[in-house]
Amino acid sequence: KQEVTQIPAALSVPEGENLVLNCSFTDSAIYNLQWFRQDPGKGLTSLLLIQSSQREQTSGRLNASLDKSSGRSTLYIAASQPGDSATYLCAVEGNTPLVFGKGTRLSVIA
Amino acid sequence: NAGVTQTPKFRILKIGQSMTLQCTQDMNHNYMYWYRQDPGMGLKLIYYSVGAGITDKGEVPNGYNVSRSTTEDFPLRLELAAPSQTSVYFCASGPRGTGELFFGEGSRLTVL
């Protein structure tokens, strides 16, 4: 059974700092991995989707990497802003639909 | 473009009552999903569908039923509501073969 773990569970950083969120998964037989953002009381918004054949994806200040063989992914946020404050969830799709981690709650302090 | 629309946004049920959470998407996606999210937890899959007329159980299907009579609609039925079903329910859809997923805003259900 696929299990997804995200570390840390919560993170508080000053504005402008670069930061890394971590995601690990137990079964490396995946089709893709996604990072989502969730604002309080809202639905999920997909940030980056990495197919299993890819090593990374970039969108603006966000960069996600995937090391399928070791079962790890990182989300790098450059020059963090207060507007980045949200919960970030990692999810993997394999032989079953998306399995989610519990998320990392990020607070960026102005 | 409405995307994925869920109704109602909020609902309070008494133990033993039944209700249906509605989900509609206007993107002609084949795949649709129902997840539940409990406080501090990730999302857990309840049911999913890969096309009209086809449904499959996810990780936590007990106490729920679904149907998929059209591409657009994927209602989730709660029979005999229990306090353990207090949660936020998310519907999502995606096109076949891409891995993309689009979420609704969620339906917050409280069972008292």
CB contacts < 8 A, A to B, total: 53
pLDDT in tens, A1-28: 899 999 999 999 999 999 999 999 999 9
Q: Which residues of B touch A32 (CB under 8 A)?
A: 99
Given a cut of 90, is residue A87 above it in pLDDT? yes
Given a cut of 90, is residue A109 above it in pLDDT? yes
CA distance B85 to chain A (A): 18
CA distance A38 to B70: 29
For residue A1, how many other CB atoms are within 10 A of its CB?
7
pLDDT in tens, B55-108: 999 999 999 999 999 999 999 999 899 999 999 999 999 998 788 899 999 999
Position B39 scores a pLDDT of: 83
CA distance B16 to chain A (A): 27
Given a cut of 80, is residue B1 above it in pLDDT? no
pLDDT in tens, B18-34: 999 999 999 999 999 99
Residues A86 and A41 sit within 8 Å (Cβ to Cβ): no
Given a cut of 90, is residue B41 above it in pLDDT? no
Q: Give the pLDDT mean for A100-110.
A: 96
Asked if the C-beta of A105 comes within 8 angstroms of chain B's C-beta atoms, the answer is: no
CA distance A104 to chain B (A): 10
Nearest to B99 among A93, A99, A100 (CB): A93
CA distance B49 to B40: 26
| Amino acid at the residue B20 | T
Position A71 scores a pLDDT of: 96
Given a cut of 70, is residue A72 above it in pLDDT? yes
Supply φ then ψ for residue B84, to 5 degrees: -65, -15
Q: Which residue of B has its CA nearest to A48?
A: B100
Q: Give the pLDDT mean for A68-87.
A: 96
Q: How confident is residue A34, by pLDDT bands cut at 50, 70 and 90?
A: very high
CA distance B32 to B71: 9
pLDDT in tens, B47-64: 999 999 999 999 999 999
